[in-house]
Structure 1
Amino acid sequence: MLQFLFLCVILSVGQHHVAAVLDPGYEFVQEADAWLRLHMVPAVWSDARLRCQLEGGVLASPSTDAITQAMLIQMIRHKVTSRNMFTGIHALNFDLDFTLLMVMPLSKINLDWAPNEPNDDNEEEQKCVVLNGAGQVADVSCHVKHPYFCKKESGVMNATSDCPTTDKGYKYEPLTGSCYKFHRFAQRWNRAARVCHAEGGHLAIINSKIEAKVLKHIFEKNPVETIVEAKHADVALIGVWKWEDDDGEWSTIRGETLEKAGFAQWSEPLDRHSTYGAIQRSGLLDAVRKYDRDPFICEIKL
């Protein structure tokens, strides 16, 4: 079945319709009624799954002929048909059959296993599944790195948003020309930076007193009692940091000094052992330590 589908894929590459991209890297595939993003940088299965979750989607699987065709078309377009792509099919929690991340039994899916697959014949258990350029699947180790696709359902689309993302949490601010999202669930600075990046943005950078006031107003809409699992409910992490030494120079995540970026008004006194930047509810800069978990603000610059 999928061998025939693969031939159809080759014939239909020129006719396949892809809508305009709103989320960075995502393309809407009408036939599959879903958004797909090809991640070319290989990752182990657990990291691939986490990345897709941070983007608000799931690790894509060949769960329907339309999704399979869309994945193969992108592989052809990006000239990676010789690579194996991780899928959301796994057998991590049990020793029985493979299942989808959405707990769908494979008996419900029309899969084409490669010859002699699944085999699980290596010393390391093969509990994850990859898709190859011929539309066939095989079981592999979850700890070997492969490229992968993330998928979002069409229902997550926010067609009326002024922000270039399908995430409805972002709001456009005309005073700065950026979109912002306040994350109430506290994270460490490094993880917060990853979340913002996965959403198509970055930890907020304050480039003026006006922008500081904008972030202050955003903070005001999130009172202390709404913040979850935070070390400090009165500061929010932003895109400011320094090298891990007591006397390092503070800079933005773009490498600019705070003065060059446009805002360097600190609260006093600072904890000299803190290495990551934050903004107080007052709108002044503050600093937190490496392992502190705090709310954070992401920014997408238009």
Structure 2
Amino acid sequence: MAVQPDSNHSSKFFRKDYIAIDGTNAFYKVHLERRSWETARLVCEAEGASLFYPVDEDEARIVMQHLRQTVGVFNRVFIGISTPYSKYIFETVDGTLMADVYDKWRPSQPDDCNGTDDCVVLDASNGLLDDYPCDAKLQFICKKTESSLKWNTLCDSPDPDYEFVDILGRCYKLHLTPRTWSDAYAVCRMEQSYLAIPNTQGEAKYLAKLMDRAALHKDIEYSGVIHLGFKKTGTWKTTYGVPLYDSGYKNWAKGQPEGNDNICGSMSNDTLLSGVNCEDKAIFICEHEISLLKLSIDTRFGTVDT
């Protein structure tokens, strides 16, 4: 797969749920759900970004101003600075000493008053820092710098994990973190893609081939099925609103489909379709039309975004 620096894509795009803030040369996403510091770091990494920390006073001021204007005032957010190896040796998530970035502490801080204050929080109201217990649950911000953005030229995407399949003319990405159907759908949409919808036996076989990779990862919960982009709400339809029986592939497993509503689409590694509880967690595959980033036209399903 050909991946290269973003030299021809100056339109400032990373993911649909990230925004570019003028004056920072970076993209940001505010997570309002509260997580521990380590979980926040992993969430950002899973999105292809890193846990935000200000590199200087200008970035701290610009980002805090944006938060106040868009999210409102809230107190503390975890930032990507901690003491991973030694007390009072604060380092960023990418290994830079805190003294070389933003280090505007609140008076009398850091003090490690609990004996476990090994992570750093930023007060969004005044831009001052405090040491804080890492297992506390706080809101956080993820950041992706423009300089770290690599463009996947074959898939016309900022995500290098999408793989172009020449015979199908599309790109696919296997997600190994099991999610509910709704959450899987949201992840794909935020990547400017959609939950995979097989239209032919050949495409279904390719998806099954991707599924085989999951079996190599013994550390994940893999049930042998993946979420697909169709759902029963009255009738079976794809996420593009097309009746499933008109989408080109309807090879159901024996006894399927189920008759209940609010059942979501799935496929086993033998390429057979079935309905599952939408709240069940499963791995999934996102499918990316190369034209989506250019013209927002989906030629497969005959719809046009206007």
Bin the TM-score by the shorter chain: 0.5 to 0.7
Range that drifts further, 194-203 or 147-156? 194-203
Equivalent-residue separation in structure 2 for 1:24 and 1:182 (angstroms): 19
C-alpha spacing 1:226/1:283, structure 2 compared with 1 (3 Å): closer
User: Match of 2:216?
Assistant: 228
1:153-205 Cα distance to aligned partner (Å, 9 max, x none): 21325386776x631333689xx99963234xx55456996697288258835
Matching residue within 238, 247, 253 for 2:227: 238
1:158 aligned partner: 151
1:225-264 alpha-carbon deviations (Å, 9 max, x no partner): 7963269999562248xxxxxxxxxx84xx6478344266
1:87 is paired with a residue whose SS is strand
| Aligned ranges 1:17-166 → 2 under 5 Å | 20-29=12-21, 31-122=23-114, 125-133=116-124, 134-154=126-146, 155-158=148-151, 166=158
- Match of residue 283 from structure 1: 271
What does the per-residue CA deviation read over 1:88-115, in whole Å, with 9 as the maximum and x for residues that have no partner? Answer: 1112443342211112112222411012
Aligned CA distance change for structure 1 residues 223 and 77 (closer, same or farther; 3 Å): closer
2:251 aligned partner: 265
Task: Give structure 2 stretches of 5+ with no counterpart.
Answer: 1-9, 239-243, 257-262, 293-306
**CA spacing shift, 1:266–1:287, aligned 2, 3 Å:** same
Q: Answer whether contact 1:88 1:101 (CA < 8 A) is retained.
A: yes
Label 1:214 to 1:198 Cα distance change in 2 as closer, same or farther (>3 A): closer
Please list every run of 5 or more consecutive structure 1 residues that lacks an aligned counterpart in the other structure.
Answer: 1-17, 241-250
In structure 1, distance between residues paired with 2:45 and 2:76: 21
Over aligned residue pairs, what C-alpha RMSD do you find? 4.6
Contact 2:171 2:288 (8 Å CA) reproduced:
yes
Q: Which residue of 2 aligns with 1:204?
A: 195
| Pair 1:216–1:66, CA change in 2 (3 A) | farther
1:266 and 1:23 mapped to 2: Cα distance? 34
Structure 1 runs (4+) deviating above 4 angstroms are 18-22, 159-163, 176-179, 186-196, 222-227, 230-236, 275-278, 299-302
Change (3 A) 1:136 1:224: same
Give the conservation status (yes or no) of the 8 Å contact 2:225–2:282.
yes
Q: How many residues are paired up? A: 261
Aligned pair in 2 of structure 1 residues 85, 225: CA closer, same or farther (>3 Å)? Answer: closer
Distance in 1 (alpha carbons) for counterparts of 2:275 and 2:183: 15
Q: Structure 1 counterpart of 2:252, which letter?
A: W
Distance of 1:297 and 1:79 partners within structure 2: 32
Paired position in structure 1 for 2:5: none
How many percent identity over aligned positions? 21
Preserved CA contact (<8 Å) 2:226 2:268 = no
Q: Which has the higher strand share?
A: 2
CA contact (8 A) 2:266 2:275 kept: yes
Q: Retained in 1: the 8 A contact 2:80–2:120?
A: yes
1:216 matched to which residue of 2? 205
Using the size of structure 1 for normalisation, the TM-score is: 0.64
Q: Cα distance 1:91–1:198, how it changes in 2: closer, same or farther (>3 A)?
A: farther
The verdict on how the C-alpha distance between 1:178 and 1:28 changes in structure 2, with shifts beyond 3 A counting, is farther
2:50 aligned partner, one-letter code: V
Contact 2:184 2:284 in 1 (8 A): no
User: What residue identity is the alignment partner of 1:266?
Assistant: W
CA distance in 2, matches of 1:279, 1:158: 31
